[in-house]
Amino acid sequence: MEPTDTLIGVVGKTNVGKSTFFSAATEIEVPIENRPFVTIEPNVGIGYARRKCVHIELGLPKCDASNSVCENGERLIPVKMMDVAGLVPGAHQGRGLGNKFLDDLRRADVFLLIVDSSGSTSPEGVVTRPGTYDPVDEIKFVVDEIDEWIYQSVEKDWDKFLKQYAIGAIKDPLEEFSQRLSGFGILKEQIEVALDHLKISSNELFKINKQDLKNLLKEIRRLTKPMVIVANKIDIPGSEKNLEKIKNTFKEYPVIPASAAAELLLRKLRKKKAIEYIPGDQEFKINQIEIDSKTKSALELIKQNIMEKYKGTGVVQAINEALFNSLKLIPVYPVEDINKYTDKKNRILPDVILIRKGSTARDLASKIHSDLAKTFLYAINAKNKQRIGAGYLLNENDVIKIVATAGKG
């Protein structure tokens, strides 16, 4: 089962529940302890986004999910996730495991910023009583550390760029600048959008002062590496009040209330078949098997304080927010037979592909295989049986057949 090529970076202050969130999302066991820097090497695993499977819309009794999972009509779509070492103030200057943490994040397309909404973790990652610290300050410092890291990476060569530009050694400022940012997975076209937002022409790029450079890089980060705030430990007293404060302070970011610990317990009980639960559900059902009184009490608290109040634990909801809203990805289903909705092996809707909203039929062909894009002739919308061209803009839950030159792709 191959995940989408998108990478979600799980970031945050040390010891706020990042590893618990990652473990709950991926069902990979990682060290989880109440002390700083338990995570040293990045943990990489597969989490799942969730969408209603298109076989329901098509009136089919089932599908044969292959690159994903379909449970009770819910398509669980794999995505790669990375949990890196937690941040402490001054990380961009190398404090804690800062440099390593930040370098690990270069490849991330979107960040899930895990914050202790109960305010029970110090800036250095020491656990204390709830309400001791302000999660708003926590978010500000994490965002600032990421922005400072990108800025310092560029600023250290800035004077050299200015000298080269002054003597005519740099003919295309935008191209030179984009090369410097390519290591962050940032494209030239994205830089052009940021410049346009700030009303800076590419010819003025090496004439701006360092404060303007810092502002430009913040805008580029905002556009290219969007962030979802995950207000973790939402069931701890005081968290609900802090949640509203976070939402009011950071209106530019989506905020998802969550309890990673609750999701982790539900996943473990699901694996033992002690409960019926699909990740992302708003409720669960206890099966008729023996569960100890302590676990039953925990489940009752999860039901009352999390599921009924917030419509889920927030783990799958945060992944969905990151992929479908922040990155604007949509699920599309490629098929070979437009009448049976099957592939070459006669499997019904086996694969789902996440692709950017605004992508075309040719873009989908390229996602499936590079040769398909090169030999693309046309495509067919399996839902209405209409022939469509290379420039057709894909919609969510489209079912598409790609037709290419015979013998290729």
**In a shared domain, residues 31 and 76:** yes
Is 139 a member of any domain? no
Q: With H, G, I as helix, E, B as strand and everything else as coil, classify residue 54.
A: helix
CA distances from 29 to 2, 21, 284, 301, 384 (A): 20, 11, 22, 24, 45
Is 248 a member of any domain? yes
- Select from 307, 324, 341 the last residue of a domain: 324
pTM of the model: 0.90
**In a shared domain, residues 337 and 290:** no
Is 45 a member of any domain? yes
- The pLDDT of residue 39 is 43
**In a shared domain, residues 167 and 81:** no
**In a shared domain, residues 400 and 270:** no
Contact predicate 350/343, CB 8 Å: yes
Q: Which of 350, 382, 386, 341 is nearest to 368 (CA)?
A: 350
Is 353 a member of any domain? yes
- One digit per residue, pLDDT tens: the chain, 409 residues? 455 689 999 998 877 889 899 999 998 764 444 444 444 456 889 999 999 999 999 999 999 999 999 999 999 999 999 987 677 665 545 544 445 556 667 788 999 999 999 999 877 778 889 999 999 999 998 898 888 888 888 888 888 888 888 888 888 889 989 988 888 888 899 999 999 999 999 888 888 899 999 999 999 999 999 999 999 999 999 999 999 999 999 999 999 999 999 999 999 999 999 999 999 999 999 997 778 899 999 999 999 999 999 999 999 999 999 999 999 999 999 999 999 999 999 999 999 999 999 999 999 999 998 889 899 999 999 999 999 999 999 999 999 999 998 654 3
**In a shared domain, residues 250 and 120:** yes
- The pLDDT of residue 42 is 64
User: For residue 186, which phi and psi values (nearest 5 degrees)?
Assistant: -100, 130
Decide: residue 144, CB within 10 A, 0-12 exposed, 13-18 middle, 19+ buried. Answer: middle
Is 141 a member of any domain? no
CA distances from 39 to 17, 33, 122 (A): 11, 9, 17
- The pLDDT of residue 14 is 79
Domain that holds residue 173: 149-223
- Select from 269, 300, 324 the last residue of a domain: 324
**In a shared domain, residues 240 and 193:** no
- Select from 161, 196, 223 the last residue of a domain: 223
